[in-house]
Amino acid sequence: MEVSAMAHPRVIRRARLVRRRGKQSLKRAMWMALWIALGAVIAHPPGTASAHTASAVPSDGGAQYQFLMSALRATGATPNAYLIHDWTQLNDSFLDSAQLAALGGQVVQELGLASVKTQVAQLANETYWRAVGAWPGGTRAEVVLTSFPGAPSGAGDGQPETVMTVTASSSNLTEGQFSSQYDQVERTVASVNGTPQMSAYIAGFKPSEVSEAEADEMAIAALRAVGAAAVEGMRTPLETSLSGYSAHAPVYVLSRDHRRVNVQVAVHDDSFRQGTDVYVGSPLVIATY
């Protein structure tokens, strides 16, 4: 049985890793358009974790690492960083700042973060709690909890809800660190009665600039390396992004025309370093850069 869930746009915006220089605004707009086109609907094929029930068999961080690395290596880029992300709707209730802080403290403790800094805000249409801390190996981790009261104040989709994002990023890329952190995030989400909605990407760099045609070839090679064919994409002189579906990845998203997508390859010019940046994500690249 196929199950799907819609991610809340405001939470995704907060959880995104915001990077880059003068091209950032353009790229953010381009990625937002791509997310809208895809519908950002996470689903799971039969035999894997359901999107609405706690996973009986946790996703394998090691398998995700191998999947992403196989695709990235096919582009000729050298891997240099990664990001792990989860978005989860925890409940259908509105929580005040004290309740969010208590829940957030439980999540931080379960993750085992050090040097934690927190902030909280009680606004008219939402309550917001955020923690930033560190894992060993130079990993930055962030937990964001947002609660919406629903229809009376015009927030959310008309119903109260509390959502959480967990993000971990590092330039110290090893299989052991990536896989253990991926699995830890998944376990932590389940520990607070959430259903993990995992995604991850591995980034790489090629020390030469490529043409638009070469970027397209790199993206196609990455998809082929994991048995995927392009489903949809976006091509510009500065950036190429192709999304596809592979039977080897455990989760997928549904495009608006209900096609499955679970691997995305983004290739873009990095004129500052006179090279090319490559991102390979599953099911999508959750970032602006």
Residue 268 and residue 287 in contact, taking contact as beta carbons nearer than 8 Å: no
Model confidence pTM above 0.95: no
For residue 158, tell me if it sits in a domain: yes
Provide the pLDDT confidence category of residue 26 given band limits of 50, 70 and 90: very low
Asked if residue 135 has pLDDT above 70, the reply is yes
224-231 average pLDDT score: 95
- State the average pLDDT for the chain: 81
**Pair of tokens at residue 261:** 């997508």
For residue 149, tell me if it sits in a domain: yes
For residue 287, tell me if it sits in a domain: no
Confidence (pLDDT) at 150:
79
190-201 average pLDDT score: 95
Long-range residue pairs from 221-230, CB within 8 A, at least 24 positions apart, any chain = 221/74, 221/75, 222/71, 222/72, 222/74, 222/75, 222/263, 222/265, 222/278, 222/280, 223/71, 223/263, 223/265, 224/74, 225/70, 225/71, 225/73, 225/74, 226/67, 226/70, 226/71, 226/263, 228/262, 228/263
Q: Before 46, cis peptide (omega within 30)? A: no
Q: What is the pLDDT of residues 238-282, one digit of tens each?
A: 899 999 999 998 788 888 888 999 999 999 999 899 999 999 999
Confidence (pLDDT) at 151:
66
For residue 84, tell me if it sits in a domain: yes
The 8-class DSSP code of residue 75 comes to T
199-216 average pLDDT score: 96
Q: Are strands 41-43 and 252-254 parallel, antiparallel or unpaired?
A: antiparallel
Q: What is the pLDDT of residues 59-93, one digit of tens each?
A: 589 999 999 999 999 999 999 999 999 999 999 99
Domain that holds residue 90: 4-282
For residue 243, tell me if it sits in a domain: yes
DSSP letter string over 163-196?
A: EEEEEEEES---HHHHHHHHHHHHHHHHHTT---
The helix-helix angle for 97-111 and 175-191 (nearest 10°) equals: 140
For residue 288, tell me if it sits in a domain: no
- Smallest CA-to-CA distance from 162 within 146, 144, 151 is with 146
Highest mean pLDDT among 45-54, 150-159, 212-221: 212-221
Residue 244: its H or E element:
strand 239-245
102-131 average pLDDT score: 96
For residue 289, tell me if it sits in a domain: no
For the chain, what is the domain count? 1
Provide the pLDDT confidence category of residue 199 given band limits of 50, 70 and 90: very high
Confidence (pLDDT) at 22:
34
- Smallest CA-to-CA distance from 119 within 110, 106, 128 is with 128
Q: What is the pLDDT of residues 33-61, one digit of tens each?
A: 344 344 444 444 333 333 333 343 445 89
The 8-class DSSP code of residue 243 comes to E
Phi, psi at residue 208, to the nearest 5°?
Answer: -155, 145
For residue 114, tell me if it sits in a domain: yes
CATH code for position 272: 3.30.2030.10
